[in-house]
Structure 1
Amino acid sequence: MFVKLNERVYLNMNKITRMKIDHVEDGIRVRFYEGQEQVAKSKRFEKVEDAENWLNNILEKVK
């Protein structure tokens, strides 16, 4: 199932093997992986809770 991450990116959730919330130098991002390769990342968030809420909204679309 394809899910729209933003205005330019659609992600095939059937191929995603893991999702990770990372603290990076410019903020917090959710990263999506197929096996060992990162295939997409989210926009920047200020708080981990904001990233978790955004990810939960994405996952609700998959159900």
Structure 2
Amino acid sequence: MYIKLNDRVYLNADRITRIKVDNVQDGIRIRFYEGANQVAKSGKFPSEKEALKWIEDNFINKQ
């Protein structure tokens, strides 16, 4: 199943093995991994709560 990350990027959810919510200097980002390799990162979120809600709405509830 493909998940729309942004206007130009779709992720194959079946291949994602790990999702990490990361606090960077200018906001919160979600990083997506296939095994040990990072394959994509999201745009910035203002809070960790909003990032987790996006994961639940777009990743967890879709499967």
Give me the TM-score of the superposition, normalised by structure 2. Answer: 0.91
Residue by residue over 1:1-29, the C-alpha shift from the partner in whole angstroms, topping out at 9 and shown as x without a partner, is 11111110000011101000000122100
Q: Which runs of 4 or more aligned residues in structure 1 lie more than 6 Å from their structure 2 counterparts after TM superposition? A: none
User: What 5-or-longer segments of structure 1 have no aligned partner?
Assistant: none
Aligned residues: 62
- Kindly indicate whether residue 18 of structure 2 is the aligned counterpart of residue 18 of structure 1: yes
User: What 5-or-longer segments of structure 2 have no aligned partner?
Assistant: none
Deviation at 1:58, TM superposition (A): 1.0
Residue by residue over 1:9-56, the C-alpha shift from the partner in whole angstroms, topping out at 9 and shown as x without a partner, is 000011101000000122100100001111011110111000000111
**CA-based RMSD:** 0.8
Give me the TM-score of the superposition, normalised by structure 1. Answer: 0.91
